[in-house]
Every structure is written in C-alpha cells, then in structure tokens.
Structure 1
Amino acid sequence: MIQTNKQQFAFVLITSLFFLWGFALNLNPILIPHLKKACQLTDSQSALIDSASYIAYFLLAIPAGKFMQKYGYKGGIIVGLLLFAAGAFLFYPAAVSRQYGFFLFAIFVIASGLTFLETAANPYITILGNPATATQRLNFAQSFNGLAAFMAPLLGGIFILSGKTLSKAQEKAMSLPELNDYLDHEASSVRLPFILIGIVVSLIVILLWKTRLPDIKEQDNELIKEGSILKEKNLLIGVMAQFFYVGAQVCVSSFFIRFSERVAGIEEKSAAYFLSGALLGFMIGRFVGTALMRFVRPAKLLALYSVFNILLLSTAALATGKTAVYALIGVEFFMSIMFPTIFSLAILGLGGKTKQGSSLLIMSIVSGAIFPVIMGAVSDASNIQTAYLVPASCFTVIFYFAIKNLNAGKTTLSTSH
C-alpha cells in the first residue's frame, strides 16, 4: 500500500493521530451522562456536548483547508494538535467552576483542533501511496480510531464515572451543602484524565515539529480540473451521505449508556463496559472491513452494511431488555467502515481539488451537533427507544450513496488485484 520508507514512516505517524482524535471524541458518551449529573441537565441539554464538538467541524473545516493550502498538511496537523492540547487543559478550570458553558467551550476548543487534524489526515492518508488501495488504506488507518473508540469509554468509565446517580427524591432530601459537595465531586473527576491527555498531545506536537513529512502535491485530473468544486456531483452526494452517517454514529454512541439504563436496567458503570464492548466491535469491524475490501468492492460493502444497520436499529427500537442493547452493539460493528469508505469514494478523482473536497466532507460532520439534539428532543417527548428511529432513518441516505457508487467502485477502487 505504501511505496517508500519515508512514506511508511509518515503513514505510521499520521495513523497515530487517528487514535488521538478517536479517543477524544469517544469520551463524549461518558461526558454526556457524567455532566448530566454534575451540571443537573435534561437529555436535550446534555446533547449540547455533542453539539459543541461537531459545530466546530462546520465552522473551521474550510479555514483548515485554506490553511493547509498555504502551509501544507504538516502545518495543519500541528495547529490541530495545539488546539487539542489547549482544550484538554481547559477542563481543569471548567471542573473547578462547574459551569456547563465552560465545559462546552473546552469541548469546542478540542473539536476545533480535531477539525484541523481530520481535514489534514484523512486526505493525506488516501494520497500517501497507490491510488488503487486508497479506500483500503484509509480504513486501516481509521481502525486505530476504532481502537481509541473502544478504549475511551472503558477508561472513561473507570476514571470519570462514579457509578452513583441520585434520584430527584434523593437530591431533594439532601441539604444544599451536601448536594454541592456531591456535584463538585462528580465534576472534579474529569480534571486528571484531561490534564494527562493535554500532556500527551503536547509531547506529540514536539515530536511532529522535529519530523520531516513528505508534502505530497495532488495532481489535477484532466477530466475534472476545470470548474467549481460544487459541480462535482458525486462529492456533493458524498457530503450528504457523510452528514447523515456522522449524525447517526454520534446518536448511537452518545445515548447508549442512557438507553442501557432505561431499557435494560443496566447501571452506568456496567453500561460503560457494554459500550466499550460495542466499540471493540467497531474496531474489529474496521479491520474485518479492510480485509473484505480485497474481495468485495467498497461501495457494495457499504450498501450491505447500511441495510444491516437499518434492521438492527429497528430491533433496538422495538425489542425489550438486553436484546435491544445487543442490537445496538451490532450497529457499531456495521458502522465501522462507513466514514472512511464514504470519504474515499467521495474524493475519488478530485486531483487538485482534493483539499477543497476534504474540507466539505469535514464540514458535514456538523451533523453530530444536530442529530443528537433532535434525538434528545424525541427522547424527552416520547422515550429513548423511539428516539433510535432517528439514526435508523439516516442509513437510507448512506445506502443511496453506496448504490450510486457501485460502478465507480467496480472500475476504479477494486483492491483485489
């Protein structure tokens, strides 16, 4: 997949970034129930944690792309890591103040850094080697994002969640000083984990600063080099598919712990372990999907997985007890290949427009700020199971994109050779 030693080292280093941002984003399902307690929030209010993360992608994706056009992929990655570290350190004063708005700001700063990282790393991986194996290569790199997705709720459940949730009656029975002590203790548990994250990211900035990366220049494709990026129909359909995919992915994971508590009576720490297991399936799915793409066209696999997810989410919305939870765990496995596959299919053949196309695809991640709020409102108005029909509907759009790309996958993206 990679041609030279220099490219191989760059591939390893950039792949490590996939782990970093995956870890940060997949702490949100832990922060949602945690800050819901510490800041006394409703489901709709707690969903703003995802909104703070994903609105950054919409606001900063184009500036990140323009920054990279001027300063290259390495410059974009370094800026992203610096913002990432700054946001992590802001969690300490946010916990001290126990102000929900402060937490949201810290999350927004982290996500601003992740926007730069994703805008740079995703297209960089696709062009760092043989174009015929771009989808396979990006799925492999994204597998380490899946590893982070497995580890984040596991470690977050251990070091952040207390396992103690008070009912409304218990809160009312406590004196104001007792209640404040409880809430302060809940909020304080995020301090050390995020300080450690900030330190690790800062060290990686130093390493990357001293490392020379090959700055690959995209070649214009003669067939599409003229005209506006908005004339690229497949890219625009891909942006729409990525919009609905990210919305669905965030919804499935973010309310998993709440879903497990309400539908199957699983307490929060145990539910965090269930989520970690689900995201282990997500990671395994990335490696399995990468292997399958040697024999099955990426677009065909994407279409098949979309159908499976519609069926599994319908089961989660209708079943009872742990059966519904197991259905959600299955969804994580079949979501595994979707982001990198949609991404690589959408930018296929863009040539000199790759950075622009990448920016639009990263902008579409804003759906992670929108769909959880919709899902939280549906949950507050009805119940958490009915709310899972929201992500179920998203996979119909992904299925449409996959079908539209079957021929392109057949002629250009086959990795079985």
Structure 2
Amino acid sequence: MASPVSSLPASNSAGITSTQKSALTLLASLFFMWGFITVINNTLLPHLRSVFDLTYTQTTWIESVWFIAYFVASIPSAKLIERIGYKHSMVVGLLIMAVGALVMIPAARIPSYGVVLTALFIIAAGITLLQVAANPYVAVIGPAESASSRLNLVQAFNSMGTTFAPLFGGYLILSRSASGNVEGGAAVLTMEQRLADAQSVQLPYFIVAMVLVVLAVVIARYKLPDLDAATRRLDAADRKNHSLWKHRNLLLGIPAIFIYLIAEIGVSNLFINFVSAPEIGNLTHTQASNYLFLLWGGMMVGRFVGSQLMRKYQAENVLAWAATGAFIVMMLTVLASGKLAMWSLISVGLFHSIMFPTIFTLGIRGLGPLTEEGSGLLIMAIAGGALVVVQGRLADMFGLQASFLLTAVCELYVLFYAIWGCKVTSAEPEQHLTAPTNN
C-alpha cells in the first residue's frame, strides 16, 4: 500500500535526470499516502455522525478542523524545511501523521469527539508539512514548461490513494458498524452500539500508523537530490527588489485554491450522505462508500489524462474546460433527482482532477526566486477546505441537495482564473537547479 511506486511513465519524465526521476517515484508514495489517509475521513464522517449524533454542521466541523491545520502549520512547516531540509522534513511529517493516527485509538476507546478532533488536527499538520515540501519540489525538479504535467502526474498517485481509501474504510469501518448497514443512511443507535461503532476505527488507524512509520524509515534511508540551493529565499537586500504583489497569477491563484478546496471537500465529505438519501440512491453507507471509490477513481484517471493533455495543450485551456464541465454536472446534481443526480455528482471527480495541481503550477509560474514564498502561500490556501462547514450549514438550512449550489459557484471562479486570472504579469528571472547532491 505504501511501498514506493515502481516507476513513473517515461513520457512524462523527459528533461529530468535519472536521479530526479527516482526522487519523483518515491514522492509518488508520499502523495499516495496523504491522499489515502485524507479520504479515510470521508468514510469516517458519516460514521461519526451516527456515533455522536451530529448535525451536518457539526459533521463538517470535523473536516474544518482538518483544514484549519493547513493554515496554522504552513508557515512553521516552511521554516522547518529551511532549517532541516526537504528530506528530513518529509520524515518528520510522516512521523507526526503516525502519532495522530495512534491518538485515534484512545479517542475511539473513550469515545471522545474532542480527542477525535485533536487526532485529526495532528494528522493534518503532518500532511501540511509534506505538502509544503513536496509540491514545490516536484514543480522545480524539471523543466518549467512541463511543471503542470509533472505535478498532475504525481498528484495522480495521490488520487490513487484517495480511490482505494473508501474501499479500505468501507470494509474496516462502515461494514463492521451498525450505522454503516442501514438503508437510506439513517441510524438510531443504542449506547452499546455507539460504543462498538466508535471502537471499529481502532484497527484501520493502527494499520495506517504502522505503514507511515515504515515509509518514514524508507525515506530516511533514501538519498534524495538536494534542491535547497534552487529554492533558497533571497537575502533581505535582494528581496526589496522583488514583490509578490506584482504577480496577478499568484494573487488570484491563492483564492482559486482556497475556493476550489471548498468545492472538492464539500463534495467528498457530504457524498455518502447524499447518495444514501432515499430520493437519490437509497443506499446503506457501506454501499455508498463503493460509489465514493468511483468519485476518487475519476480524479485519478483525470490526472493521468490531464498530464498527457498538458503536453499538447496549454494548462490554462485544459483548466478552463474542466471548470466548465464541473459547473454543468454540479447544476445537474442540484436540479436532478435519483440516479441522474447521483451519477452527476460522481462525475465531478473527473473534472476536479486537474484543478489543484494546475492552479498551483500556474500560480507559481514566473515567480523565479520568489517561488518558495509563493508556494507557501498557495499551500496555506488549502485551508479553504475548512469552510466546508458553510456547506454543512446550508445543508441544515435548505437541504443537502440545494447546498451543492455553493460548489457550482466555486467552479465559476476557477473558470475565471483559467481564462484571465492566471496570466503572468511580471515574470521574475527563473531559478536553475544546481547539480543534485545526496543528503
């Protein structure tokens, strides 16, 4: 599950050395694991909603805490990377995630909603450290013109993790719980059933913790190229001559990622509850988790396809078409019913697939020596996922189906960014990698 992917397709590694390609292959494992552990939450949320008898607002607060960690931990993560380097920061990030996964075990035994939130915050802080290190690493490890294609390719392995996670969570969490086997998604549990359901998360998170520790050991022993020289911040005197405020693609890219995350996380978090509803799919939560597999599978396929398309077409054009498709299927989700509404929501994964990595690489395009600072701000914008609580509130007030209008509006901003917002206005001199050294 977490062993390094054997190799990346050769067609996407043109222009990089064998050492850099090897590093990208190992990084694909990191992307897989943080995608995997993030989407376990999507099976965990409907489970916890039944265990703790939560409203939709309270349920989405669980995911909001997860993404608040991105806002809190991004700048400390960047400073830690400056201090100890990319490789050791990745190891620390994996170990922090493992600690958070282990905290889920006593949280389930008590059971305690507060301790669950604490455990998820710790896991998310570790993922933030990995994100701050790995995304710009992939973006600068090869030619600038293929950065979007390269990041989409590696992010496809992230989507592979998100694709398999619902099956893992559905089998080890939902299928082993009373709340996960009720048709229509509604369950009234006795206290004994709630305690048993809460404890069903212990084994999955113990397995995840062990895999993270093993992966941390593998990376600690692996010789990664040292890219610190290529991404080092400017000294104070030189920094005065450069300004992030001149770069429209970055300034509008930050809200683009923030807003896109509201859309992606809202869809994935409320997916099981939506397709389980009697008027939509009338499924058990366990059955619905299998359809969540298709949602994330669409993202995986879309990223592999998008990586190839961006070798022929401009990244912003591919992004514009994806945003248009996403808007159309989200409006179908809101206005249709039954299987049509269910399958339109599933299909949005295909259109969402290329959005984050493409916005990220368009956002740092032309930043030159400001790339590190710009990357940190873009990763911080992932905190937009915390505002999924807004959709939870809309679902409580106007109904779950109507709440997806918020997602449709988010797609329109991404379309605006692709058409106009991503244009480079003041390109800085490009940074060049020095010969890689072992660290």
**Could you tell me the TM-score, scaled by structure 2's length?**
0.87
Instruction: Give the Cα separation in 1 of the matches to 2:68 and 2:181.
Output: 31
Is the alpha carbon distance of 1:157 and 1:226 closer, same or farther for their aligned partners in structure 2, counting shifts above 3 Å?
Answer: same
Which of 368, 387, 399 matches 2:415? Answer: 399
Let me know the Cα RMSD of the aligned residues.
2.4
Contact 2:249 2:422 (8 Å CA) reproduced: no
Matched, 1:337 2:337: no
The residue number in structure 1 matching 2:4 is none
Matched, 1:292 2:309: yes
The residue number in structure 1 matching 2:191 is 180
Which of 199, 209, 216 matches 2:220? Answer: 209
Instruction: Give the Cα separation in 2 of the matches to 1:311 and 1:274.
Output: 20
Instruction: Give the Cα separation in 2 of the matches to 1:238 and 1:38.
Output: 39
The residue number in structure 2 matching 1:197 is 208
Can you list the C-alpha shifts for 1:338-388, whole angstroms capped at 9, x where unaligned? Answer: 000000110112222222111111111111111x21111111111111000
The residue number in structure 2 matching 1:41 is 54
Is the alpha carbon distance of 1:382 and 1:288 closer, same or farther for their aligned partners in structure 2, counting shifts above 3 Å?
Answer: same
Instruction: Give the Cα separation in 1 of the matches to 2:128 and 2:167.
Output: 24
Can you list the C-alpha shifts for 1:211-256, whole angstroms capped at 9, x where unaligned? Answer: 2211212269999983343443321111110000111100011101
Instruction: Give the Cα separation in 1 of the matches to 2:172 and 2:240.
Output: 51
**Could you tell me the TM-score, scaled by structure 1's length?**
0.92
The residue number in structure 2 matching 1:316 is 333
Q: For residues 51-90 of structure 1, what are the structure 2 equivalents within 5 Å?
A: 51-90=64-103
Contact 1:37 1:165 (8 Å CA) reproduced: no
The residue number in structure 1 matching 2:241 is 226
Displacement of 1:3 after TM fit?
2.3
Instruction: Give the Cα separation in 1 of the matches to 2:325 and 2:44.
Output: 29
Report SS of the residue matched to 2:313. Answer: coil
Instruction: Give the Cα separation in 2 of the matches to 1:37 and 1:113.
Output: 28
Q: Amino acid of the residue matched to residue 89 of structure 1?
A: L
The residue number in structure 1 matching 2:257 is 242
Contact 1:300 1:402 (8 Å CA) reproduced: yes
Q: Amino acid of the residue matched to residue 289 of structure 1?
A: G
Segments of structure 2 that go 5 or more residues without pairing to the other structure are 1-12, 429-439
Contact 1:153 1:275 (8 Å CA) reproduced: yes
Matched, 1:129 2:142: yes
The residue number in structure 2 matching 1:158 is 171
Segments of structure 1 that go 5 or more residues without pairing to the other structure are 413-417
The residue number in structure 2 matching 1:415 is none
Percent identity among equivalent residues? Answer: 38
The size of the alignment, in residue pairs, is 404
Contact 1:39 1:98 (8 Å CA) reproduced: no
Contact 1:285 1:337 (8 Å CA) reproduced: yes
Contact 1:157 1:269 (8 Å CA) reproduced: yes
Contact 1:43 1:379 (8 Å CA) reproduced: yes
Report SS of the residue matched to 1:226. Answer: coil
Report SS of the residue matched to 2:230. Answer: coil
Displacement of 1:389 after TM fit?
0.5
Instruction: Give the Cα separation in 1 of the matches to 2:416 and 2:58.
Output: 32
Is the alpha carbon distance of 1:403 and 1:225 closer, same or farther for their aligned partners in structure 2, counting shifts above 3 Å?
Answer: farther
Q: For residues 249-328 of structure 1, what are the structure 2 equivalents within 5 Å?
A: 249-262=264-277, 263-328=280-345
Displacement of 1:71 after TM fit?
2.1
Displacement of 1:168 after TM fit?
12
